Amino acid sequence: MPTPHDSYRFKNGVTIPNRVALAPLTNLQSHADGTLSDVELAWLARRAAGGFGLISTCAAYVAKDGQGWPGELGVDRDDQVPRLRELATALAAHGGLPTVQLFHGGTRAPSSLTGQQPWSASAYHEDGPEFEPPRAATEDDLARTIAAFADAAARCERAGFGGVELHGAHGYLLSQFLSSAMNQRTDGWGGDLAGRARLIRTVMRAVRAKVAPGFVVGVRLSPEDFGQARGLDLDETIAVARWLCEDGADFIHLSLWRSERMTAKRPDQHPIPLFRAAIPADVAIVVAGAIWTVAEAQAALDRGADLVALGRAAIVNPDWPRASAAPGWEPRRPPLTIAELEARAVSPHFGGYLRRWKGFVAD
């Protein structure tokens, strides 16, 4: 069995030095217009210097009407390319593969940021003081957004990144279309699974057609309902993953929240072997979900994952890939003071966001 410290070769020939990825993490650090900030660059470069084999940016919106929160990175305009190039160069200098997570919030793109009513697969309502009922997507919305994803991927490639990940998880736009609860359309973009999967598949094919074969393209999926992701069925997600591989995916990123947990639909079965059996062996499976220790990372690999993605553990342990090679090493765990976080290239603004996570920041 491979270990977290072994190299990995994607099916298109791109090789990364180890099997440890920096998961895309919301941090609110970019400028108001979506351009990269110095603190965002420093945060990512510090993890690249720590030896992560694959380094993903936070979710980056592909169109202004898809911006999900203040301080989100944007990849929707050509004038962002020079700063994006600085970031890609800084990350690649340490040997890892720099990638961008491409994002559209759909329903979860508030009008206070976008200046317009949110849109999604269907118009629907949820109880809650902050919920803005979305309008149903038009054919023009869909054509525009498919092109925006493809153009953003090409922009990232031009800036020097080695790949992109489509954010198809966590109840954002692509996940909303996959959802049997949120997608009530009766045209070709809804109905059965093939209709609900049409948007994410079309985006994958459009992105794949717009970039070079050596550019890595993957997709993040929520296998089942959790949090904002609703209306998702395990077997349907497995089928979608299989289709996306046919459409050109180099990796499938499973957002499991807790990597050791069995599936909700079949509590005696773990999701990793189910997806591994369903998709081609040369398509990588990336797994994220509260992985802190080498043993937890190894357990995911032993179940059939090819890479593990670290989120909170990478915030606290920016040198995880290098440090974890030492026998007996144990990761630092929260809480950390703001000063300790700043020493790990976490900006005060990001530190303020981390206070939302119970027990993460020491008072």
Instruction: Report yes or no: 272 and 287 within 8 Å, Cβ to Cβ.
Output: yes
Q: How far apart are CA 158 and CA 153, in angstroms?
A: 9
Pairing verdict, β 216-221 and 163-168: parallel
Neighbours of 239 (CB within 10 A): 15
**In degrees, to the nearest 5, what angle opens at C-alpha 210 toward C-alphas 209 and 215?**
90
Under 8 Å CB-to-CB from 356, ≥6 apart: which residues?
none
Q: Is 10 in a helix, a strand, or coil?
A: coil
Instruction: Report yes or no: 106 and 172 within 8 Å, Cβ to Cβ.
Output: yes
Residue 54: both structure tokens together: 């694959």
Tokens 């118009």 -> residue: 123
Q: Please name which of 69, 23, 362 lies closest in space to residue 218, comparing C-alpha atoms.
A: 23
Q: Please name which of 4, 3, 1 lies closest in space to residue 320, comparing C-alpha atoms.
A: 4
**In degrees, to the nearest 5, what angle opens at C-alpha 65 toward C-alphas 38 and 91?**
30
From 8, 61, 172, 353, active-site residue = 172
Active site residue 172: yes
Residues, the chain, total? 363
Tokens 């966590």 -> residue: 170
Q: Is the dihedral of CA 47, 52, 170, 117 positive or negative?
A: positive
Spell out the alpha helix ranges (H) of 6-131.
38-49, 81-92, 111-114
Residue 180: both structure tokens together: 């049997």
Phi, psi of 16 (to 5 degrees): -115, 155
Helix (H) or strand (E) holding 147: helix 139-159
Residues marked as catalytic: 172
